[in-house]
């Protein structure tokens, strides 16, 4: 029989935490914050578990009931249970009996929950607060009477059955596809129940069952350890299920150590923590791609890395913790050794072949971090879970700012996944820095597009990605080349000759309208450019109806536009071409159109082919003028010449065939 507590923390770990709190200022602050959150339970009204709403909701298609399901199976039960868990943990860390006395009635109150609701999300939702309930009970179970324990046992048995039923439905119907992040949460609840109640069959299903740990580890990660879903943010939704399983297995003394286990092809869980570092911008943020709901992940403040800091004792995680801006979480209290060395990782321009990502960096090595480096993120990925219609999209970072933004208008409703703005705008092609053909959203793409060229040379890093089969738009071939030129590290004089070149080519046997789309940020929501811009009406209906203040001008010659973020000036210069129509408009920051808007522009050309040659500059001072020219080069290449700050560079770019 296991000695309790044994899930979130063991008795040994609790003693380690107490010593840390007595010894270290950061640990005292962490405990103080934990206690402040726990103390909120004193004035918190316990939730009412309503069921009448379900009588109507159950008659609807489940695709229409996300908001109600999210509210009643997630948002309503989660806050009080979170506070109860923190109160139970504070009690075990030396807090007064009142902390346990506050938490216990909350747990008993939740035994009235019915778990009768049916929806793909309920398994994940139940697990998100159910795991805290079982952790709190594990910390406090010696304070319950036999009758109360029977009530709690029945509650957790019913919860487990509801999660298992949901897991079975996902597997049978293929909801959300194989290896979905939801499976990590389903298995989290099974593992916790199996370990606490000494039911090895549930631990075995967690590890070896259909869509269990072995399958998820073998198939869920790509490249160096990136979760396969098309939103990098959802990498952590999966890890937030996997890491607690690993913690509980180790704390309970189970022989299957997920922290150290090696799976097929040498895959490990730790790779899922370290791999994301290679995708980061210089400010340690994760590129916003796919479903992000306007949320940017900053790696040092992502809770997974505190677990990594405690478990793996590696300089990488020490460095991330040294960059942390938010307070530490409770898990860090269990660190048994003195903090080890902290060392920034070296990064370089690279390709992620399985995921279909390319990252180009003008400054590489350890000097990259918190520098003025350019970082260009290109995607030629397929459409997996949480994908957007953003193929061949570009996100651009420079001078400490995200400049070309993969925008998401934030939703004002609690469940952003099902929000109107998410489906009508954020996931559409119109929302991304790519080409839209004939004003249409592109369809689902079931395979990766092509990496045509990757040349990470010392002073210029170049990549070309393309759709040579007409997968994105039937009958239309597209190809994008991005070249990032050198910049100097922050310790030396900044180069004003650094820039990013962006050449986007499209061709077809038929006539089409090609719209080159671009989104950025500006402190005032303005685009500064010259031209006789006049109001224009955009197409009716979404996604177009989300845009405001559209105005258009004919610009056949080379032109530029500028934006400002703080002390950074950002300029786009586009090589002229006959028949070019430029449209400026306001993209909504959120679905309530709160000011300022996000500037957006569309560059339209018509014909059988189009080539958009753009150059980006960013400085914390005046931007020098630039000259661009393009001509036919040898061997099916385009020759682009750029003269900037007295320096001329030539770029030979594969010509779209």
Condensed to tens digits (0 to 9), the pLDDT of residues 463-522 reads: 999 999 999 999 999 999 999 998 765 544 456 679 999 999 999 999 999 999 999 999
Measured CA to CA, the distance from residue 313 to residue 311 in angstroms comes to 6
Q: Is 259 helix (H, G, I), strand (E, B) or coil?
A: coil
At 170-199, the pLDDT tens digits run: 999 999 999 999 999 999 999 999 999 999
420-to-406, 427, 599 alpha-carbon distances in Å: 18, 11, 21
Q: Give the side-chain half-sphere CA count within 13 A for 584.
A: 23
Average pLDDT over residues 531-547: 96
User: Which long-range CB contacts under 8 A does 337-342 form with residues at least 24 apart?
Assistant: 337/313, 340/313, 340/314, 340/315, 341/315, 342/315, 342/318
Q: Predicted confidence band at 657 (pLDDT cuts at 50, 70, 90)?
A: confident
pLDDT of residue 501: 98
Q: What distance lies between CA 420 and its chain's CA centroid?
A: 20
At 261-298, the pLDDT tens digits run: 999 999 999 999 999 999 999 999 999 999 999 999 99
Q: What percent of the chain has pLDDT over 70?
A: 98
What phi, psi does 431 have (nearest 5°)?
A: -90, 0
Measured CA to CA, the distance from residue 202 to residue 204 in angstroms comes to 5
Measured CA to CA, the distance from residue 550 to residue 533 in angstroms comes to 9
124 pLDDT more than 80: yes
pLDDT of residue 1: 64
Residue 234 DSSP symbol = H
Q: Quick count: other Cβ atoms within 10 Å of Cβ 501?
A: 22
| More reliable by pLDDT, 494 or 547 | 547
Q: What is the mean pLDDT of the chain?
A: 96
Directed axis angle between helix 304-312 and helix 234-251, to 10°?
40
Average pLDDT over residues 548-552: 98
pTM: 0.96
């Amino acid at each position: 029989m296991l000695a309790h507590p044994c899930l979130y923390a063991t008795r040994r770990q609790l003693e380690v935490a107490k010593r840390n709190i007595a010894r270290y200022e950061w640990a005292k602050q962490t405990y103080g914050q934990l206690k402040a959150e726990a103390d909120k339970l004193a004035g918190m009204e316990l939730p009412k578990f309503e069921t009448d709403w379900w009588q109507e909701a159950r008659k609807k298609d489940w695709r229409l009931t996300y908001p109600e399901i999210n509210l009643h199976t997630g948002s309503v039960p989660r806050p009080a249970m979170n506070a109860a868990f923190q109160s139970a943990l504070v009690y075990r860390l030396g807090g007064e009996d009142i902390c346990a006395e506050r938490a216990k009635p909350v747990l008993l109150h939740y035994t009235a929950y019915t778990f009768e609701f049916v929806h793909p999300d309920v398994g994940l939702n139940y697990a998100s607060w159910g795991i805290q309930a079982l952790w709190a009970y594990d910390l406090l179970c010696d304070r319950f009477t036999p009758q109360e324990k029977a009530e709690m046992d029945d509650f957790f048995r019913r919860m487990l059955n509801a999660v298992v039923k949901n897991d079975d439905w996902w597997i049978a119907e293929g909801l959300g596809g194989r290896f979905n992040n939801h499976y990590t949460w389903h298995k989290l609840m099974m593992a916790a129940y199996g370990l606490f109640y000494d039911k090895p069959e549930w631990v075995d299903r967690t590890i070896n069952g259909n869509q269990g740990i072995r399958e998820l580890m073998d198939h869920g990660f790509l490249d160096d350890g990136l979760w396969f879903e098309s939103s990098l943010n959802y990498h952590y939704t999966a890890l937030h299920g996997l890491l607690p399983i690993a913690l509980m297995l180790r704390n309970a003394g189970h022989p299957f150590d997920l922290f150290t286990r090696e799976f097929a092809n040498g895959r490990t869980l730790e790779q899922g923590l370290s791999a994301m570092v290679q995708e980061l911008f210089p400010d340690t943020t994760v590129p916003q791609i796919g479903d992000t709901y306007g949320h940017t992940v900053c790696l040092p403040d992502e809770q997974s890395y505190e677990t990594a800091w405690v478990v793996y004792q590696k300089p990488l995680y020490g460095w991330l913790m040294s960059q942390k801006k938010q307070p530490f979480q409770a898990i860090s209290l269990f660190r048994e050794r003195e903090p080890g060395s902290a060392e920034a990782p070296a990064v370089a321009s690279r390709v992620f072949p399985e995921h279909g990502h390319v990252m180009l960096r003008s400054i590489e090595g350890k000097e990259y971090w918190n520098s003025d480096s350019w970082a260009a993120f290109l995607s030629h990925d397929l459409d997996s879970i949480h994908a957007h219609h953003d193929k061949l999209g570009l996100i651009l970072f420079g001078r400490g700012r995200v400049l070309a933004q993969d925008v998401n208008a934030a939703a004002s409703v609690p469940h952003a996944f099902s929000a109107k703005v998410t489906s009508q705008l954020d996931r559409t092609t119109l929302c991304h820095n790519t080409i839209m053909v004939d004003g249409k959203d592109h369809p689902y793409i079931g395979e990766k597009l092509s990496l045509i060229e990757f040349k990470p040379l010392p002073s210029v890093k170049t990549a070309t990605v393309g759709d040579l089969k007409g997968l994105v738009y039937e009958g239309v071939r597209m190809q994008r080349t991005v070249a990032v030129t050198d910049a100097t590290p922050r310790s030396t004089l900044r180069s004003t000759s650094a820039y990013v070149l962006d050449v986007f080519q499209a061709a077809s046997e038929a006539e089409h309208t090609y719209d080159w789309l671009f989104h950025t940020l500006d402190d005032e929501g303005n685009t500064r450019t010259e031209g006789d811009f006049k109001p224009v009406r955009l197409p009716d209906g979404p996604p177009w109806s989300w845009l405001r203040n559209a105005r258009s001008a004919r610009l056949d010659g080379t032109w530029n536009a500028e934006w400002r973020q703080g002390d950074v000036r950002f300029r786009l210069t586009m090589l002229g071409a006959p028949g070019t129509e430029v449209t400026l408009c306001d993209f909504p920051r959120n679905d309530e159109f709160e000011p300022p808007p996000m500037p957006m522009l569309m560059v339209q050309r018509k014909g059988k082919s189009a080539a958009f040659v753009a150059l980006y500059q960013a400085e914390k001072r005046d931007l020098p003028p630039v000259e661009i020219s393009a001509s036919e080069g040898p061997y099916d290449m385009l020759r682009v010449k750029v003269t900037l700050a007295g320096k001329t560079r030539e770029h030979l770019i594969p010509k779209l065939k």
